[in-house]
């Protein structure tokens, strides 16, 4: 379809036609699709407008971004009326962050504090959560260090209009993951404080959020990461303990290697398997030599896990050691 045909499709009374118009506009040149997407951004259907907002990420120029920011501010005046579900603002926030549009900072600061309670399936629901998440990520991409506090608060958001605490924890899962990731993107070492608090007192938190916090601490090169992550090495959740081992190994320090060695001595089963995998990612001669030495360990389980872990190694020293053990 050419630009004229897509523009006609966008004028259809059927929302499915207008959705299709936005989707097929991707085949046009930036110059052709820009006016079409800006028109779609004003669509009466917030889903069509949100789809256009995200698509504008590929072609928006400075003039278009000015109009997009005006649209963000306009729907923000009465979110329940103009942007139910917060889809338009969430998509615009995503685009502002990707395009590093600095004039959007003040509007994004408002967005990161927006709570919008709507009935979803007859149940009260905070539809502003994904807007806050996208605003946090966008502000981090824009390097707005004044937003550190608001981003940090999102990391602990388990609030919900529902009384079921489990539902509250699940409902804000992606929001808290986004907050942890945003702290890493922002790059301010002060972000280590809320991340460390979350990991030190992880009660009722989901493993996915804790893993994101671990990864962000590594990215921020926290000097006390050993103290924060070491308690997880023997966590009952083997996936979480394994992830902690991998994150510690990725720091590449001698202190980490020593701690992992000590933990191997008291570990069994899945815990042991993840620890050995973590060792194999350490990428140092010390780690390699340690694993090779374990090929002759008195512990049968340890020998088996090490052999399986090293079996695909391309390192000549490791291949030679494996061959000797098979003789």
Q: CA–CA separation, 228 vs 117, rounded Å? A: 36
The CATH number covering residue 13 comes to: 1.25.10
> pLDDT value at position 182?
98
The answer to whether residues 313 and 260 belong to one domain is yes
Q: Which of 44, 59, 74 is the last residue of a domain?
A: 59
Tokens of 201: 């007192």
pLDDT above 90 covers a percentage of the chain that reads 83
pLDDT tens for 73-107 read 999 999 999 999 999 999 999 999 999 999 999 99
Please state the pTM of the whole predicted model: 0.91
The answer to whether residues 103 and 213 belong to one domain is yes
> pLDDT value at position 135?
98
pLDDT tens for 272-296 read 999 999 989 887 889 999 999 999 9
The answer to whether residues 109 and 156 belong to one domain is yes
Q: CA–CA separation, 12 vs 185, rounded Å? A: 41
The answer to whether residues 122 and 141 belong to one domain is yes
Q: CA–CA separation, 48 vs 237, rounded Å? A: 42
Q: Which of 107, 104, 106, 194 is nearest to 149 (CA)?
A: 194
Task: Give the distance from CA 123 to its chain's centroid.
Answer: 27
């Amino acid at each position: 379809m050419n630009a004229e045909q897509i523009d006609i499709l966008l004028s259809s009374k059927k929302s499915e036609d207008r959705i299709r118009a936005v989707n097929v506009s991707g085949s046009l040149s930036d110059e052709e699709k820009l006016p079409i997407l800006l028109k779609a951004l004003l669509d009466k259907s917030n889903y069509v407008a949100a789809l256009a907002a995200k698509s504008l990420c590929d072609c928006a120029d400075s003039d278009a971004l000015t109009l997009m920011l005006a649209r963000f501010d306009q729907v923000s005046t009465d979110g329940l009326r103009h942007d139910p579900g917060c889809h338009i603002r969430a998509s615009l926030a995503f685009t502002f962050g990707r395009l590093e549009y600095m004039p959007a900072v003040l509007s994004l600061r408002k967005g990161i504090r927006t709570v919008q309670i709507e009935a979803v399936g007859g149940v009260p629901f905070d539809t502003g959560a994904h807007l806050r998440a996208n605003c946090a990520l966008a502000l981090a991409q824009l390097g707005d260090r004044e937003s550190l506090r608001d981003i940090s608060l999102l990391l602990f958001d388990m609030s919900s209009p529902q009384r079921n605490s489990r539902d509250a924890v699940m409902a804000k899962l992606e929001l808290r993951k986004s907050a942890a990731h945003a702290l890493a993107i922002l790059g301010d070492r002060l972000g280590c404080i809320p991340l460390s608090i979350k990991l030190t007192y992880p009660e009722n938190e989901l493993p996915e959020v804790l893993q994101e916090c671990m990864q962000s601490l590594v990215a921020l090169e926290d000097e006390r990461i050993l103290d924060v992550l070491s308690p997880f090495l023997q966590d009952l959740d083997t996936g979480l303990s394994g992830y902690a081992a991998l994150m510690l190994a990725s720091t590449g320090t001698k202190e980490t290697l020593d701690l992992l060695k000590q933990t191997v001595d008291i570990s069994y089963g899945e815990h042991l398997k993840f620890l050995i995998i973590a060792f194999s990612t350490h990428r140092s001669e010390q780690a390699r030599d340690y694993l090779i030495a374990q090929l002759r360990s008195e512990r049968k389980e340890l020998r088996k896990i090490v052999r399986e872990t090293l079996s695909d190694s391309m390192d000549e020293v490791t291949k030679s050691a494996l061959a000797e053990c098979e003789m």
